[in-house]
Amino acid sequence: MTGSAAERQAAGTPLLEVLDVRKSYGDRLVLDDVSLSVQPHDVICLIGSSGSGKSTLLRCLDLLEEIDDGVIRLDGREISDPLVDQREVRGRIGMVFQAYNLFPHLSVLDNCTLAPRRVHGLSRPEAEERARDLLATFGLVDHVDKHPDRLSGGQQQRVALVRALCTRPDLLLLDEITAALDPELVGEVLTIVRDLAERGTTMILATHEMSFAREVATSVCFLSEGRILEQGPPAEIFSEPREERTRQFLRRVLPPSG
């Protein structure tokens, strides 16, 4: 595909295309012909029971797992080819995990500047200026010299978000980022994600926070047994789901109405 990224997006080319992706671990089929299209500024929420394939899908998109079949395209270019430069692709995709995955031997500032320097070639002063600006935005400016074990879980998760954003990714993947947090810390992390959505950040997030998904998502995908069983606007999925499996899941996770 020719033309700049801006030209392709103006022509309606999705930022991300997932076509008939399959992934197995041994005899266990984890992703079963998954297809998904993501436009710039979309916020796609993946919902479903544990084991439905949400995390595996995100890991495949970030090339942490090799797919068995299908195609993944980023900005019109196939990235699922085993010969693709994975480092270059990951330079355009940021991922935040539920377990933070910060480097324990590095300070907050060094955690956030490592990828911009090593992958994007920024000088240390440039990378540090970018990181400090983001850390200040997220209320972490007083913690730049601390190591992760000196931070609360909520602070560590905010640092993980800043680290992903320091590369200025085209796409941000969030994998159950509140799952490991104490309940009182969930809100502060979701506030940051909400702000990112309002700024137009393109995101795909796996979440168990249904009210949050209803509020921020442009589209909700319900996964069951490795398939996207149903996809649509939040109002449609949460109020008038078509599939009985979706209705069963939502009855379990949503508070009773009335």
d(CA 147, CA 13): 42
In a domain, 164, yes or no: yes
Q: What is the mean pLDDT of residues 175-184?
A: 86
More reliable by pLDDT, 117 or 180: 117
- In this prediction, residue 119 carries a pLDDT of 85
16-25 and 28-38 strand pairing: antiparallel
In a domain, 146, yes or no: yes
In a domain, 162, yes or no: yes
Question: Is pLDDT of 212 > 60?
Answer: yes
In a domain, 9, yes or no: no
In a domain, 185, yes or no: no
In a domain, 190, yes or no: no
In a domain, 78, yes or no: no
Count of C-beta atoms within a 10 Å radius of residue 250: 16
The torsion angles phi and psi of 123, rounded to 5 degrees, stand at: -70, 160
Asked if 176 and 98 touch (Cβ cutoff 8 Å), the reply is: yes
Residue range(s) defining the domain that contains residue 160: 103-168
In a domain, 250, yes or no: no
What is the b/e burial string over 90-101, where b = at least 16 CB atoms within 10 angstroms of the residue's CB?
bbbbbbbbbebe
pLDDT in tens, 133-176: 999 988 899 999 999 999 998 899 999 999 999 999 999 999 99
Q: Within 43-172, where are the H helices?
A: 54-61, 86-90, 108-118, 124-137, 153-165
Number of domains in the chain: 1
More reliable by pLDDT, 189 or 57: 57
Q: What is the mean pLDDT of residues 237-255?
A: 93
What pTM does this model have?
0.91
pLDDT in tens, 35-54: 999 999 999 999 999 999 99
